[in-house]
Amino acid sequence: MSATMQAMVLDQPGQALHLRTLPVPDPGPGELRVRVAACGVCRTDLHVVDGDLPDPALPVIPGHEIVGRVDALGPGVGGFAPGQRVGIPWLAWTCGHCRMCQAGQENLCEHARFHGYTRPGGYAEAVVADARYCFPIPDGYSDVEAAPLLCAGLIGYRALRFAGEAQRLGLYGFGAAAHILAQVARHQGRTVYGFVRPGDVAAARFALDLGAAWVGGSDEMPPEPLDAAILFAPVGALVPAALRAVRPGGRVVCAGIHMSDIPAFPYDILWREKSVVSVANLTRQDGIAFMEIAARLRIETKVSRYPLSEANAALSALRRGQVNGAAVLVPF
C-alpha cells in the first residue's frame, strides 16, 4: 500500500474526530500490519470519544472491531501469511507477568493495552497489532458482517458465560451485542426476554424479529422471573430494575466498560442470594471459543455501513440510539 493512509483521529475527549493523512505504520517484532476492510463502531468508542474512560493515549485513532488482511509481517511472526484475513479486538497486549496474568485472568492485566484507546485502532486504512492477539475470521461472513463479532460478539459471549446455565435470560439494551447474543442464546435453547427503552417501537420489533419470547420497556417486569439478566445499556438505574426481575439466586451481569452511577436501592431486592457482577475486557481464549461458535452457528449481524470519513455521524447515531444492530465503517 502507499506510504500514507487516511485515519480518523481523536485529539481531545469531547471533540469531533478529524480526518488526517498519516504515515502507514511499520510492524515491529511480533506484529502484523493489517489493511483495514471494516471496523465496527462500538459503544466503548463513544466512551473514549466522550471522555468517560480516563487517560486515552492522545491523539488516538479509535476502533477495536477490526477486520482486514495482513499486509506485512514483523520480525518473528509465525502462523500468519500476507493476504490472510484476521480480526483485531479490544485487547491489544498483556504483560504476562503480573498477578492477574499469572492467574489466567489476562483480561484484568495490570498493564494491559487496548486498541483504539491506548494503542491506535481501526478507524484507519491500516493498523499494526500484536500477532498473538489477532484471530482468524470464520468463512461465511463478509468483512462488514464480521466486524461486530470482534467486540459486541466477544463481550456478549463472555457475559453469557457469567450468566451460567440461565434458561430465562433477560437482555437490557437491544443493540449490537444483544442482537448477536440473542441468537447464540436461542441456539443454546435459552429463552430470551428483551428490554428496550420505553416507547422504542423499532427496538422492540427488532428484538422480536430475533426471536425474543417477550419484549418490554426497561421499566417493566417480565412475565416470569429471570434466571439471569445481562445489562448492555450503560444506565446504572437498570441494576436495581434487573435485580427486581431476577429470581432468588439469580444473577445480574453488567457487561459495559462504563455505566452511570447505580442509585441506592433496598437490600431486599438483593437478598436471597442474588448477585451483581461485572464483565471486563476479554481473553484470547474467549476469542478462540467464540469464533468457533460463530463458525458453527452463522450469526446474522445487522449492519449499517458508513464511510470512514463519516465516523462522527456513525458515533452520533449510536449516541442517539438510532442504530438497530451495529454501525460499521468502511475505509474505501
259-302 confidence digits (pLDDT tens) = 999 999 999 999 999 999 999 999 999 999 999 999 999 999 99
Question: Quick one: pLDDT at residue 332?
Answer: 76
CA of residue 301 relative to chain centroid, distance: 13
Rounded distance between C-alpha atoms, residue 163 and residue 228, angstroms: 6
Q: How many residues does the chain have?
A: 332
221, 245 Cβ separation under 8 angstroms: yes
* Mean of pLDDT values over 190-205: 94
Rounded distance between C-alpha atoms, residue 203 and residue 79, angstroms: 42
* Mean of pLDDT values over 166-193: 95
189, 216 Cβ separation under 8 angstroms: no
pLDDT at 203 over 60: yes
Q: How many CB atoms lie within 10 A of CB 101?
A: 18
Q: What CATH class has 4-148+281-330?
A: alpha beta
Question: Quick one: pLDDT at residue 321?
Answer: 87
Ranges of CATH 3.90.180.10 domains, the chain = 4-148+281-330
C-alpha cell at 136: 482468524
Q: What is the pLDDT of residues 213-252, one digit of tens each?
A: 999 999 999 999 999 999 999 999 999 999 999 999 999 9
112, 281 Cβ separation under 8 angstroms: yes
Looking at the chain, the whole-number percentage of residues with pLDDT higher than 70 is: 100
Strand partners, 251: 228, 275
C-alpha cell at 235: 444506565
Residue tagged 485502532 (cell numbers): 121
> What burial class does residue 289 get, using C-beta atoms within 10 Å of its C-beta: 0-12 exposed, 13-18 middle, 19+ buried?
middle
CATH code of the domain occupying 154-278 = 3.40.50.720
Q: How many CB atoms lie within 10 A of CB 241?
A: 22
Question: Quick one: pLDDT at residue 3?
Answer: 93
Residue tagged 483480561 (cell numbers): 107
Question: Quick one: pLDDT at residue 1?
Answer: 57
| Torsion sign (Cα): 109, 110, 114, 120 | negative
Rounded distance between C-alpha atoms, residue 14 and residue 69, angstroms: 32
Looking at the chain, the whole-number percentage of residues with pLDDT higher than 90 is: 96
Question: Quick one: pLDDT at residue 305?
Answer: 97
Rounded distance between C-alpha atoms, residue 15 and residue 135, angstroms: 32
Ranges of CATH 3.40.50.720 domains, the chain = 154-278
Model-level pTM greater than 0.85? yes
